[in-house]
């Protein structure tokens, strides 16, 4: 007798599991999400996730990859929507900060060193990291700053996002500080 639920036979188990996992991530930290909970949320048998994820670590890596793809898409859209380079850099930085605050659990799993090991990204994560670095780095260079300023700008938006997400100050303060600091960094 199969322990599968009727939802198991929908034809796209991988998509159903990832969608359920991302919905859970919107509600709670990745470290609190179990494969069994993902199965329940996807309405499949408790063993079904093992057809897609080797183990819980595989689930966490997928959550990080999907979250990073979302972060990259939001930064890219913000950069493209701006009319000129300075406002593009500000918009891109602010999109990064908003993501950190508004999607804290997704942001946390992206930067969890136990999930996305620094210097050893997954095959899926590596090009996403490259694209994010390229987007932010390109925006920094486009306003006349140097390669050395790329790390400073990333640290600025990451720090502001992390602090605002932790409740040290409101999102609006982080966004205003981002713009103010970027404008002060610009060459005279």
Residue at 15 is within a domain: yes
Whether the per-residue pLDDT at 4 is higher than 90: the answer is no
pLDDT of residue 10: 53
Residue at 3 is within a domain: no
What is the pTM assigned to this prediction? 0.91
Do 153 and 180 belong to one domain? yes
Report how far residue 182's alpha carbon sits from residue 177's, in angstroms, rounded to the nearest whole number. Answer: 8
Do 32 and 94 belong to one domain? no
Do 67 and 19 belong to one domain? no
Residues 110, 61 contacting (CB under 8 angstroms)? no
pLDDT of residue 51: 86
Do 33 and 64 belong to one domain? no
Residue entry with tokens 């979250």: 67
**How many domains are contained in the chain?**
2
Give tens-digit pLDDT for 17-46.
999 999 999 999 999 999 999 999 999 999
Domain that holds residue 14: 8-53
Question: Nearest Cα to 166, choosing from 90, 108, 91, 114?
Answer: 108
- Average pLDDT score, the chain: 93
In terms of phi and psi (left: phi > 0; alpha: psi -120 to 50; beta: otherwise), the region of 169 is: beta
The H-assigned helical ranges of the chain are 13-27, 35-42, 56-81, 85-102, 104-110, 125-142, 147-165, 171-185
pLDDT of residue 52: 87
């Amino acid at each position: 007798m199969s322990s599968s639920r009727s939802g198991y036979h929908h034809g796209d188990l991988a998509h159903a599991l990832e969608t359920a996992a991302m919905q859970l991530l919107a509600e709670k930290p990745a470290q609190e999400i179990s494969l069994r909970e993902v199965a329940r949320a996807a309405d499949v048998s408790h063993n079904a996730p093992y057809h897609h994820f080797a183990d819980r670590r595989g689930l966490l890596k997928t959550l990080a990859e999907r979250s990073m793809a979302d972060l990259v898409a939001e930064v890219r859209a913000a950069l493209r929507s701006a009319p000129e380079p300075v406002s593009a850099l500000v918009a891109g930085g602010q999109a990064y900060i908003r993501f950190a605050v508004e999607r804290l659990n997704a942001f946390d799993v992206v930067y969890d060193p136990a999930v996305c090991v620094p210097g050893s990204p997954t095959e899926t994560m590596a090009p996403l990291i490259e694209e994010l670095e390229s987007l932010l780095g390109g925006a920094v260079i486009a306003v006349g700053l140097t390669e050395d300023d790329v790390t400073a700008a990333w640290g600025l938006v990451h720090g502001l996002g992390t602090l605002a997400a932790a409740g040290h100050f409101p999102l609006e303060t982080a966004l205003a500080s981002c713009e103010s600091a970027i404008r002060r960094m610009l060459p005279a």
